Amino acid sequence: MDSFLRNSATGCRVDEAFTMDDLVDSISADTSGLRCGHVQLRIIFIMPVFSTTAATLTAYAPKRKKTVYILSSMHSVIQTDNTTKRKPNTVTLYNTTKCGVDVMDQMVREYTVRTGTWRWPVAVFYNMIDMAALNAHVLYQACIGRQERRVDFLVELGRELANSHMCAKKARKEQLLRTQPSTPSPGKRAMCQVKHQCKNNHATVRCVHCYRYTCGRKAKWLLSGTSSDKEEKEPGTNGMSSRDR
């Protein structure tokens, strides 16, 4: 939990995917905020009201063959209204505040990194990234004091996160070009590693940028001359040194 949520009276509403007794205990240890969640119907409880020192579980049947379970750490005593539906106060509070969960789900699905996968840990990881990006956008607007388009924020966030990795990759590539020769030792041949419209050709030169063995279909080559000032040859010569022609 962030520092501004600790020891605060901020309410927390979650849906059935995250409602469990262990989560209530964990949040209660971090903050004094109020929690109210909806339990999925696959969990079966016998008692209509089940309470512990940390949370209270309410079973409410608004219709026949339909039961709703509400887990709350806010209410120690369950009260019902005077209407014919006899709705508990936990259900009434959840219905008035559950729109925040639906809005968050809608915003997360609008711009998501999720893709098709059969591995549930990967799906959980995608969901964590989506919610972290949404929370970052909300905190960013609160810090700067103005509204900003979420798509622009996500693009800039992705660019900043990838910038460090791109700079490190570029530095490693430059270091590799400085420490290793531009052409292999005389007589050494290797299979073309670019595989771009190539039928397993053999090559004796390497690419300027990726330092992989490439055949004549690659556009840019590094000259293998003896001068210290290395430069690229004109495109009309196919970018190959006189030794290779």
Return per-residue pLDDT of the chain as tens, 245 residues. Answer: 455 555 555 566 666 666 666 666 666 665 554 455 555 444 333 336 666 777 888 888 877 778 888 888 777 777 777 777 778 888 888 888 877 888 888 888 889 988 888 999 999 999 999 999 999 999 999 999 888 999 999 999 999 988 988 888 888 877 776 665 555 555 577 777 776 566 677 777 777 666 777 776 554 444 443 333 344 434 444 444 434 44
Which of 96, 45, 49 has the alpha carbon at shortest distance from 72?
49
- With tokens 């998501």, the residue in question is 112
Residue 96 in 3-state DSSP?
helix
In contact, 221 and 207? CB cutoff 8 Å: yes
Which of 23, 18, 16 has the alpha carbon at shortest distance from 42?
16
DSSP state of 236: G
Structure-block tokens of residue 4: 């501004």
97, 132, 159 - which closes a domain: 97
Residue 233 in 3-state DSSP?
coil
* pTM (two decimals): 0.48
Q: Are residues 113 and 81 in the same domain?
A: no
Q: Are residues 175 and 187 in the same domain?
A: no
Domain count, the chain: 3
Can you give the residue range of the structural domain that contains 239?
182-245
Cβ atoms within 10 Å of 126's Cβ, excluding its own: 16
Beta strands (DSSP E) in the chain are 11-14, 34-39, 49-51, 56-63, 66-72, 190-191, 202-203, 205-206, 213-214
81, 97, 113 - which closes a domain: 97
Supply φ then ψ for residue 205, to 5 degrees: -125, 165
